[in-house]
């Protein structure tokens, strides 16, 4: 593999011969010279190529090179006299691999709206902002694996097709091999591929719990799917979730791991993606870098749901959804708590049982459960988790109350029959994390190919 632009920019020049392969970002002609900025996606910056008019194809190709055209440049790496770059390439040859017709290529020099860029998701990763998002997303993904490996966790590949609706919210996409006519028949899924109704997973949690009870500390990191018709800047129909599950871990331990994970991932991005963060800080979300440093360096605030409701009621603020004990917190409430009240991420615990799924551990008061959500400024909920109900009779009753048939979940109940232990876990919405660290306003711009109601292009 030849060095990337990022690697070339870090070399000390001693007139060595190098090759640059990438796409033309800009070209400027000046006298007998042509300055071409070539990028290859490896970093935000491009490398400057200086071509002189004695190149054989100078008049017919080089001086007309257009944005987006692909090139292979061979030349000498030299110190650059220009400001803002240490090195440049003095070209010995510039090969035009493929031209991007400037009359047709949609990514011209002027800034395009993120909305427009969504309509060309096959080209948008070539822009500065979306290119930076892709690099930050990759750094975060690597950071997730690094974080867990350092702490003795094993990765578990939980299934994408499943028959259990973990969250019980009825948001599973059905997976079927039946045709439309067969689906009209009585009890159709009995004749279907799996012999029962199956769907795309909404969470790998229940299966992760199985491995937590054999391997202690595990995590799953994969795509999850929800057929919820939410056209908001925080919802996708297909999104990635990081789901650790830990045996012998209570709610307090769960919250500590979750906080440490977010703060370490923020630190990784600040350290490894400084140029990209600087771009977001200047053009996407002013003050972002300071906000990230603050999250990296300060402890999160903790409060119970009951305390959170009291604070919301006391705030005197008019919310569109009125607040009272028992309601599910809405984005506006979540944002008030972390943006106006705390100014830092907030961990809210012990929610009413009635608004949380069946698997959460019942508190001694029998009205709240050992749940935990982490709310972050600008986003709202980034993490949802809990200590799990490990007591067989209590879990069976919770299931029945939730309208679930315990026989269908006998494998899940077995985990409480044979060597049950207190255990906890959480799900971190990976796109919401990417949104948070990049300051991108819309979740559709932090996943390469967003799936939302009415939209599944590319």
Under the rule (CB under 6 A), what is the footprint of ligand 4AD?
166-167, 203, 205, 226, 228, 235-236, 239, 241, 243, 381-385, 425-427, 429, 431-432
CB of 349 to Mg ion, least distance (A): 13
Nearer to ligand 4AD, 243 or 389 (CB): 243
- Site residues for Mg ion, 384-413, by CB under 5 A, read 384
DSSP H or E run through 333:
helix 331-335
Q: Give the residue with the Cβ less far from Mg ion, 377 or 384.
A: 384
Give the whole-angstrom CA distance, residue 400 versus residue 185.
Answer: 29
143, interface contact from Mg ion, ligand 4AD, none, CB < 5-8 Å by kind: none
Minimum separation from the CB atom of position 232 to ligand 4AD (A):
9
* Partner touching 425 among ligand 4AD, Mg ion, none, CB below 5 to 8 Å by kind: ligand 4AD
Q: Which does 236 bind (CB under 5 to 8 A by kind): Mg ion, ligand 4AD, none?
A: ligand 4AD
- Least CB distance to ligand 4AD at residue 388 (A): 8
Report the residue number, 138 or 354, with the smaller CB distance to Mg ion.
Answer: 354
Burial class from Cβ neighbours inside 10 Å (0-12, 13-18, 19+) for residue 181 reads exposed
Q: What does residue 92 show for φ and ψ, rounded to 5 degrees?
A: -100, -30
Minimum gap (Å) between residue 78 Cβ and ligand 4AD? 48
Tell me if 186 sits within 8 A of 403, measured CB to CB.
no
Please report, in angstroms and rounded to a whole number, the separation of the first and last CA atoms in the chain.
29
Work out how close the CB of 318 gets to ligand 4AD at its nearest, in angstroms, rounded to a whole number. 26
Does 380 interact with Mg ion (rule: CB under 5 A)? no
**Minimal distance, residue 262 CB to Mg ion, in Å:** 15
Residue with Cβ nearer ligand 4AD (137 or 432): 432
Q: Are the beta carbons of 288 and 439 closer than 8 angstroms? A: yes
Q: Starting at the edge strand that comes first in sequence, how are the strands of the sheet with 198-200 ordered?
A: 161-162, 198-200, 174-175
Which CB, 11 or 169, lies closer to ligand 4AD? 169
51 vs 266 by CB, closer to ligand 4AD: 266
- CB of 211: closest distance to ligand 4AD in angstroms? 12
Largest Cα–Cα distance of the chain, in whole Å? 85
> By C-beta, is 37 or 245 nearer to ligand 4AD?
245
Q: Where are the alpha helices (DSSP H) in 185-284?
A: 205-215, 251-272, 274-283
- Helix, strand, or coil here: 287? coil
DSSP assignment of 154-192, as one string? Answer: EE----SEES--TT-SS-PPEE----HHHHTSSSGGGGS
Picking from 156, 299, 297, 171, the residue whose alpha carbon sits closest to that of residue 222 is 156
| Residue at token pair 């009415």 | 454
Options 78-86, 269-277, 379-387, 439-447: segment touching Mg ion (CB under 5 A): 379-387
Residue matched to tokens 């990337």: 4
Which residues are at the interface with Mg ion (CB under 5 A)?
384
């Amino acid at each position: 593999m030849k060095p990337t632009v990022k690697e070339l920019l870090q070399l000390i020049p001693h007139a060595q011969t190098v090759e640059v392969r990438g796409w033309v970002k800009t070209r400027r002609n000046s006298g007998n010279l042509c300055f071409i900025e070539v990028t290859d996606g490896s970093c935000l910056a491009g490398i400057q190529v200086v071509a002189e008019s004695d190149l054989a194809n100078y008049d017919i190709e080089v001086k007309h090179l257009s944005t987006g055209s692909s090139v292979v440049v061979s030349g000498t790496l030299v110190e650059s006299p220009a400001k803002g770059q240490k090195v440049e390439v003095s070209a010995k040859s510039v090969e035009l691999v493929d031209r991007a017709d400037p009359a047709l290529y949609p990514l011209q020099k002027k800034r395009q709206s993120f909305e427009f860029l969504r309509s060309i998701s096959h080209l948008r990763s070539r822009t500065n902002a979306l290119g930076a998002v892709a690099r930050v997303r990759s750094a975060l993904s690597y950071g997730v694996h690094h974080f867990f490996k350092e702490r003795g966790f094993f990765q578990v590949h939980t299934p994408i097709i499943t028959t259990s609706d973990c969250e019980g919210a009825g948001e599973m996409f059905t997976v079927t091999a039946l045709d439309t006519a067969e689906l009209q028949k009585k009890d159709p899924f009995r004749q279907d591929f799996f012999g029962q109704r199956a769907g795309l997973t909404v969470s790998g949690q229940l299966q992760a719990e199985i491995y937590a009870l054999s391997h202690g500390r595990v995590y799953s990191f994969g795509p999850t799917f929800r057929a919820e018709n939410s056209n908001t800047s925080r919802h996708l129909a297909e999104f990635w979730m990081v789901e650790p599950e830990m045996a012998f871990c209570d709610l307090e331990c769960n919250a500590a791991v979750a906080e440490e994970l977010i703060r370490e991932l923020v630190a990784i991005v600040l350290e490894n993606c400084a140029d990209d963060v600087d771009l977001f800080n200047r053009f996407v979300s002013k003050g972002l870098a300071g906000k990230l440093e603050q999250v990296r360096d300060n402890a999160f605030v903790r409060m119970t749901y009951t305390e959170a409701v009291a604070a919301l009621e006391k705030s005197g603020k008019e919310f569109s959804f009125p607040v009272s004990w028992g309601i599910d917190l809405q984005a506006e409430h979540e944002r008030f708590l972390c943006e106006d009240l705390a100014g830092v991420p907030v961990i809210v615990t012990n929610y009413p049982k009635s608004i949380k799924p069946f698997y959460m551990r019942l508190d001694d008061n029998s009205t709240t459960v050992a749940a935990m959500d982490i709310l972050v400024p600008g986003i709202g909920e980034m993490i949802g988790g809990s200590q799990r109900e490990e007591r067989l009779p209590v879990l069976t009753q919770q299931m029945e109350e939730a309208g679930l048939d315990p026989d269908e979940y006998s494998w899940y109940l077995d985990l409480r029959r044979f060597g049950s232990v207190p255990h906890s876990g959480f799900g971190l919405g990976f796109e919401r994390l990417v949104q948070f660290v990049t300051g991108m306003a819309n979740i559709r711009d932090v996943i390469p190919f967003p799936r939302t109601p009415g939209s599944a292009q590319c």
